[in-house]
Chains A and B, each alone.
Chain A
Amino acid sequence: MATGIKQQDRQDAIAGWLFMTPTLIIFGIFVFIPILFALYFSLTDWNGISPPGEAAFVGLRNYQDVLFGGGIRQQDFYKALKNTTYFALGVVPVQTALALFLAVVVNQRFLRFKSFFRTAYYFPAITSSVAISLIFLFLYQKDGLINEALSFVTFGAWKPVAWMADARGIFHIWLNWLGVNSERVPWLANTSLLGLSVWDWISGPSIALLAIMLMNTWTTIGTLMVIFLAALQDMPPQVYEAAQMDGAGTWTIFRRITLPLLRPTTFFVVTLGLMGTYQVFDQVYVMSSGGPAKTTLTVAYLVYRSGFNNFEMGMGLAVAILLFIIIFILTMIQRRVTEGEKA
């Protein structure tokens, strides 16, 4: 009997590892080795063309250049970081709130044509990012649909803008209305912080970046809505019935019961949002290539550009690893915040 069990254990061990073999090979070659490559070659000056073996080891110089070098590389990195951060700060809260709103609405018991609405809201989420970018590039033209629609709903007050060619930061535009600009307040332009002037830091997203942000929100809402919807449908109906018995109104039920019960889902949705927005790439590649005036340069696009356009693979890898660290820290902070609220 004892030997029987032992034999069974051995067979299980063999079967288990055999079943895992394809996964282990693919992950070994295309995930684990690349991680090691990323770590090592970020410490070299490899250019992407010569054999990697000939690349010289330069220690932390790439990181040094990007973070504190004082040159164009430092400037580009912080520009990209600034743009990406504005992007995430704008997109994540809006798409999370709208997705939650739509999920609650579509989940209403008495709503008719439910599946039609659900399908319509989810549709952009199944489409290729390149196809959507091209469609919006068309819609964002100066005489395109989006300017027309904005002008229609504002009764003609909206002045058409050439969205993808407009490098003005929206905070700059607002500050200008208040009479604040870099000429009137020279220290804003003269004080430099990490290679960018204070005035640059507070630009807000440019009109071009805002265009990509709006499009990105529009495409992502559907997926997030469905995630919220699944969570809503899993909720115990008894809790709601009890609350209704106690005479609680719709808004109170939403705020006191639905929202707290949705907290794990919200955490998940915000994490997905942060991971996604900090890696925006396809849309930038197709719509703007980082322009105008580098105002749509994102960190992910900078990784690609350093490696494949400027032939500074070592530099690109350093930026990629810094991006990983940033995303990791943000997720940790976010987890801390969500757990803190629970206590």
Chain B
Amino acid sequence: MSAGAMAKVGSPSPVWRRVRTVLSYGLLILLALTFIYPFLLALTTSFKTLPEINADPVGLIPSMWTTEGYARLIGLNVGRWFFNSAFIAVIVTVSNVIFAGLAGYALSRIKFPGSNAVFLALLGTMMIPGIVLLIPMFMVLRLLGMVDAYTGLIVPKMVTAFGIFLMKQFFESMPVEIEEAARIDGASRLDTFFRVALPLAQPAVIALVIFSFQGSWNDFMHPLIVITTNTELYTLPLGLAFLRGGIGQNLQWNALLAGSMLTTLPMALIFLFFQRYFIEGISYGGVKG
């Protein structure tokens, strides 16, 4: 570092520097609070009684803790909604890893005629906003008898263009030698993929698992058009929207917020355990993809 730069760094007085540090951390903590506090308030409010919520919707600590909001949800079959959400998310996630893995592998490693056209067609579909396919998706599901059925919730989501590009990108960054060695030892393409390539692509697989699970767990628009009458097949977000009901009615806030918490907590736990991968995943899929 040059003398000029040293002087520049050293010039503000120590007192001013300390004040600045305190102010900066204060601002950062305040910002963190604005991102976290709404969840905190929703969590404690879900344990309040309705009269208390109506009298004071701002206080953080309930004067009387109650689980009546949760009890009301259980009466509404929330267990089934929770199971549906989890079941669908798990199947969608597993199939995404396998199908997007296979497709990404083929596009990056296997030379086959037409691969470029397939790649471009898939790339093109990413330009199409999901809302454009809302109505025609409903038409196709109706034709196939998949309305009001698990198949309608699951099958259309079993592979995504995003997943394919994530996997393709990662395979391309991997050295090809290990797979070639396996091939020379007589392993088939499929063996090589499942036994060698997919395990080596673990970071990309983890990212894909997280995004597929999150996407499915939080999805609202797709279940909304698939489930028209069969409330047994509601997912958590769909059930919550149903519980919210019409505009202008008296809302049972403790139950609604309890539902929001049941929807948020599983993702929050997954996030806290796999934080690192969320952030790495976005950088794979986002900037480089």
* Band of interface residues on B: 35 or more
- B199 → chain A closest CB, angstroms: 17
B164 contacts across to A, CB distance below 8 A:
23
- The CA of A100 and the CA of B268, in the complex, are separated in Å by 24
For the residues of B in contact with A, the DSSP-based class is helix
B window 129-181: CB within 8 A of A: 129-140, 144, 155-156, 158-159, 161, 164
Name the residue among B2, B28, B271 with the largest chain A CB count within 10 angstroms. B28
- A13 → chain B closest CB, angstroms: 5
Is there contact, CB below 8 Å, between A121 and B35? yes
Is there contact, CB below 8 Å, between A31 and B287? no
B158 contacts across to A, CB distance below 8 A:
22, 26
Is there contact, CB below 8 Å, between A247 and B8? yes
B window 95-143: CB within 8 A of A: 98-100, 102-103, 105-107, 110-115, 118, 121-122, 125, 127-140
Is there contact, CB below 8 Å, between A34 and B263? no
Is there contact, CB below 8 Å, between A126 and B271? yes
Is there contact, CB below 8 Å, between A148 and B159? no
Contact among A143, A300, A313 with B57 in the assembled complex (CB-CB below 8 Å) = A143
Name the CB-closest residue of B to A308.
B225
Binding site for A on B (CB under 8 A): 1-2, 4-5, 8, 28, 31-32, 34-36, 38-39, 41-42, 45, 57-58, 98-100, 102-103, 105-107, 110-115, 118, 121-122, 125, 127-140, 144, 155-156, 158-159, 161, 164, 189-190, 193, 214, 217-218, 220-221, 224-225, 236-238, 240-241, 244, 247, 251, 253, 256-257, 259-261, 263-264, 267-268, 271-272, 275, 278-279, 282-283, 286-287
A137 contacts across to B, CB distance below 8 A:
244, 251
Is there contact, CB below 8 Å, between A41 and B136? yes
- The CA of A119 and the CA of B276, in the complex, are separated in Å by 10
- B40 → chain A closest CB, angstroms: 10
- The CA of A323 and the CA of B221, in the complex, are separated in Å by 17
Name the CB-closest residue of A to B142.
A52
B136 contacts across to A, CB distance below 8 A:
33-35, 37-38, 41, 317
B57 contacts across to A, CB distance below 8 A:
138, 141, 143-145
Contact among B5, B38, B140, B225 with A29 in the assembled complex (CB-CB below 8 Å) = B140
Is there contact, CB below 8 Å, between A145 and B38? yes
The proximity string for A residues 1-36 relative to B, scoring 1 for CB distances below 8 Å and 0 otherwise, is 000000001011101110110111011011101110
A303 contacts across to B, CB distance below 8 A:
131, 134-135
Query: A30-B140, A136-B38, A230-B283 are known contacts. Are A304 and B134 too (CB-CB below 8 A)?
Result: yes
For the residues of A in contact with B, the DSSP-based class is helix
- The CA of A122 and the CA of B115, in the complex, are separated in Å by 37
A-B contact pairs, 26 of them (CB 8 A): A15-B189, A16-B115, A19-B105, A22-B99, A22-B159, A23-B164, A26-B155, A27-B121, A30-B133, A30-B156, A37-B139, A37-B140, A41-B136, A121-B32, A123-B39, A124-B35, A126-B267, A143-B57, A145-B38, A218-B35, A229-B279, A245-B5, A247-B4, A303-B131, A316-B134, A317-B135
Is there contact, CB below 8 Å, between A34 and B133? yes
- The CA of A232 and the CA of B6, in the complex, are separated in Å by 25
Known: A117-B28, A134-B244, A145-B58. 10 other contacts (CB 8 A): A23-B159, A27-B159, A38-B132, A119-B271, A130-B237, A134-B240, A135-B39, A138-B256, A288-B247, A307-B135
Binding site for B on A (CB under 8 A): 9, 11-13, 15-17, 19-20, 22-24, 26-27, 29-31, 33-35, 37-38, 41, 48, 52, 102, 105, 115-124, 126-132, 134-139, 141, 143-145, 148, 218, 222-223, 226-227, 229-231, 234, 244-245, 247, 249, 264-265, 268, 275, 278-279, 281-282, 285-286, 288-289, 291, 300, 303-304, 307-308, 313, 316-317, 320-321, 323-324, 327-328, 331
- The CA of A292 and the CA of B286, in the complex, are separated in Å by 36
Is there contact, CB below 8 Å, between B132 and A328? no
B155 contacts across to A, CB distance below 8 A:
26, 30
Name the CB-closest residue of B to A324.
B132
- The CA of A141 and the CA of B4, in the complex, are separated in Å by 56
B45 contacts across to A, CB distance below 8 A:
138
Name the CB-closest residue of B to A31.
B125
